A and B are shown apart, each in its own frame.
Chain A
Amino acid sequence: MYGKKVKLRILFLIVLVLTIALTVFFVLNSLKENVVYFLSPSEVKILSEIKKDKIRVGGMVKKNSININNDQIIFVITDFKNDINVSYAGLVPNLFQENKGVVAEGFLQDRNYFKAVKILAKHDENYMPPELNKKIEE
């Protein structure tokens, strides 16, 4: 039979392999569930189906589109080709303004209406998320 040391080493290896396998499984599994995709209004328009998953929509806040009442803020995100209406109840970042870049996180109701649960903060006036920059350039 094997000695005690060998047994211990085999046990150690089994535990190690199991741990790594479990880790990979857990991580990948919850990555699948918790990833948030970023779309532009034009990409929303051509979506084949409206999923219930949380997504991000980014673009510019359309000029003269902000409407506000006690409960919510309604505005339009545009990428200069297509628009999408957004409603939001919550805190907006300092730089939330018309004609400035914005990223909204939330749920699509249909291809023209997006219900945001979070508007992302920006840090300076020239800042634009690279995602957005790229999408606008395209």
Chain B
Amino acid sequence: MIFNFIGSYSVIISLFLSVFIFLKILFKLKNLNHFLSFNLKNLIFFQFFFVLVSFISLLILFLNSEFGNITVYNNSHTTKPIFYKISGLWGNHEGSLLLWLLILTFINFSYFLTSKNRSIKERLFTSIFQQIIILGFLIFLIFTSNPFSEIFPTPKEGLGLNPILQDPILAIHPPVLYLGYVSTSIIFSSSMSSLISGNVNSSWASHIKSWILGSWIFLTGGILLGSIWAYYELGWGGFWFWDPVENISLMPWISLTALLHCILVLEKRSTLGSWSIILSISTFTLSVCGTFLVRSGILNSVHTFANDPERGLYILLFLFFIIFMSLIIYFFYEEKLQVTKKTFGLFTKESHILINNWFLMYFLSVILIGTIYPIFLEVISNQIISVGPPFFNKLIIPFLIPFLIFMSLGPNLGWINNKVIKKKFHLLLFFIINLILSYVILKLIGKTKLTLILLLTASFYLFFISFKDLLKKSYKNYAQGISHFGFSLLILSIIFNSILSKEITSNLKVGDEIKFQNSKIFFKKIEISSGPNFEKVIGQFVIKDSRNNKTVFLPEIRIYNQPEVITSEAHIKTSILKDRFLVINPIKNKDYFNVRYQEKPLMLWIWISVILIMIGGSINFLKNEK
């Protein structure tokens, strides 16, 4: 249990270090002329180091299955594979918070290393805001969710990790997502600091752009992993459900995407400074807000580990403190912003970015209201409601149409110049061609709703225009081209996926056969075998299509003992054109199995397009670092 001791004291040392660094910087700020002695760097390093020590201690406790530690006892089991013993560390509230802090102190340290060319004042202020955030989370960890609590007598066996979390993708989902979330804190601190030091300008923009891009790439990746997991593990066969937990990860992403484009305007045109600051604040607060909603138990999902009102209250107070502090700073220092009075021409890059920023803010508010309103209503009137996909689809889809069109036109316009677009006629003609194409395609499928036709037209428009740009020899901006192309591919895949998906659900006994389209699904037999820490029932299904081609599907039902949970593992056959998805569920004490077979077109392309979007971001990141 020595590691319990080391771990818990390391965190406390970091807490003291945090206070010390905070005070030291305050003192330094009073006489800036002094040479900044770089023991500050060492202090920040030690802070990271002690959190790392504490993290490693907890990791060792998990690997050794020392159940004297409550966190280990609640979330681990001796029979669990090593990989899941490690991921069990962040598969719970306390451990994931320690991971959060580890990443927070790490990026704080790496910010300090990579910001050497910025002014001392700006770096000090950034560090001070970082310390406030770190301090807030350290206090939260130590006083409400200490991962190093002990229990006596030491139990012989742990309770095990929720089997639904025992999955390779979900094991890496939290660290990736956290890297994204936590990096937004640097964006926040740095924007506060540059606001105070009065240098919200193009040089700051190109400095912070790297952090925005980094954070954006990881956030996108984290959401993608979560979505892939939900697709194959939850057995619903979709990739996005407008579930509150998904929404709260999407909100900071939208805000960050808006910021990413805004910062380009700030970099190139030295304008939109105050809007960028507001977006930095909102991105970070939305990230913390996500933590609050998930951890407080207000939203319930697989992420809700324990419903502890005290924790929710603490994060809520912390959130209010941050919002309040940043708003006060904003109002006091806003006039310091070097406002460059520049008017925007309508046909310029910056005006298109601004317009789409508005659309993004609209999407953000729709999602925010749809997610928060049920909570609000319950508190006020005790009525319990839920807001489902129709709400989001209805409010978001129509506005995607102009959004996509502006997205296609924007990149081909110039900065500043209000020059009339050349080949205006060509662009219009091209749009009409796409309109006809979309109409013909949808007519063939048999779904000619006006919004659908226009949405498809707009997506094709973006698709072809960005594709054409990528092929141009003179083209420079590959990063943007690939991301925009990826986005159009994403929307196209989603459209075709949603209108062409087919499914059948039935309750079958062994030996039963059902018809689906032109093929027959035959439930051949079940087999029972065992995995590393579970028993499994494997169903064997044979699907015979009209040409007599047979495909065998082997969906599983896994029965875990610790804790006692049944999960279904869908059998998915992925191909370039479509996914075929078969999942079975047992119905207790009955001979029947609940069977669902789905054909989901272009599923693979949804994932690929998100990866393309990330690749675009990465190229931009590397270019900016040069």
Contacts and interface: CB of A to CB of B under 8 A. Distances in A.
A127 B366 CA distance: 29
Contacts of A92: 585, 587, 594
Contacts of B585: 91-94, 96
A26 B506 contact: no
Interface in A5-50: 5, 8, 19, 23, 26-27, 30-31, 33-38
B386 A31 contact: no
A47 to B, nearest CB: 14
A66 interface: yes
Interface in A80-138: 89-98, 121, 123-125, 127, 129-131
A68 B592 contact: yes
B384 interface: yes
Given A37-B383, A66-B588, A94-B566, 17 more contacts: A27-B366, A30-B394, A33-B390, A33-B391, A34-B391, A68-B592, A90-B596, A91-B505, A92-B585, A92-B587, A94-B235, A94-B567, A123-B302, A124-B565, A125-B565, A130-B307, A131-B384
A73 B507 contact: yes
Nearest to B593: A68
Given A27-B369, A31-B373, A93-B585, A68 B507 contact: yes
Contact of B391 (A8, A31, A56, A68): A31
Contacts of A34: 387-388, 390-391, 394
A73 B587 contact: yes
A138 B407 CA distance: 53
Interface in B299-357: 300-302, 307, 343
Report the 8 A-B pairs with minimum CB-CB distance, sorted nearest first: A34-B391, A38-B384, A91-B596, A123-B302, A97-B588, A131-B384, A68-B592, A35-B385
Contacts of A89: 505
Given A27-B365, A27-B395, A90-B505, A125 B343 contact: no
Given A31-B369, A34-B390, A35-B387, A95 B358 contact: no
Contacts of B390: 33-34
A57 to B, nearest CB: 11
Contacts of B388: 34, 36
Nearest to A128: B300
A69 B566 CA distance: 22
Contacts of B587: 66, 68, 73, 92, 96
Contacts of B596: 90-91
Contacts of A98: 588-589
Given A91-B596, A93-B585, A125-B563, A36 B386 contact: yes
Interface residues of B, number: 50
Contacts of A23: 362, 365-366
Contacts of A130: 297, 300, 307
Contacts of B568: 94
A123 to B, nearest CB: 5
Given A34-B387, A93-B585, A129-B300, A66 B362 contact: no
A70 B366 CA distance: 41
Contact of A70 (B302, B362, B508, B583): B508
23 contacts: A5-B343, A23-B365, A23-B366, A27-B365, A27-B366, A31-B370, A33-B390, A34-B387, A34-B394, A35-B385, A35-B386, A66-B587, A66-B588, A68-B507, A70-B514, A89-B505, A90-B505, A92-B594, A94-B235, A94-B566, A94-B567, A130-B300, A131-B384
Interface residues of A, number: 40
B234 interface: yes
B299 to A, nearest CB: 10
Contacts of A26: 395
B423 interface: no
Contacts of B167: none
Interface in B385-413: 385-388, 390-391, 394-395
A4 to B, nearest CB: 8
Contacts of A96: 585, 587
A90 B506 CA distance: 7
B60 interface: no
Contact of B234 (A27, A97, A121): A121
A96 B365 CA distance: 35
Contact of A71 (B234, B506, B566, B590): B506
A30 B399 CA distance: 14
A69 B514 CA distance: 13
Contacts of B506: 70-71
A39 to B, nearest CB: 8
Contacts of B362: 19, 23
Interface string B133-175: 0000000000000000000000000000010100000000000
Interface string A45-68: 000000000001000000000101
A129 B385 CA distance: 12
Given A5-B343, A91-B583, A91-B585, A123 B505 contact: no
B141 to A, nearest CB: 24
Contacts of A19: 358, 362
A56 B300 contact: no
Contacts of A66: 587-588, 590
Given A23-B362, A66-B590, A93-B585, A71 B507 contact: yes
Contacts of B567: 94
Interface in B507-521: 507-508, 512, 514
A30 B395 contact: yes
Contacts of B386: 35-36, 38, 56
Interface string B193-226: 0000000000000000000000000000000000
A127 B365 contact: no
Nearest to A90: B505
A37 B162 contact: no
Contacts of B592: 68-69
B49 interface: no
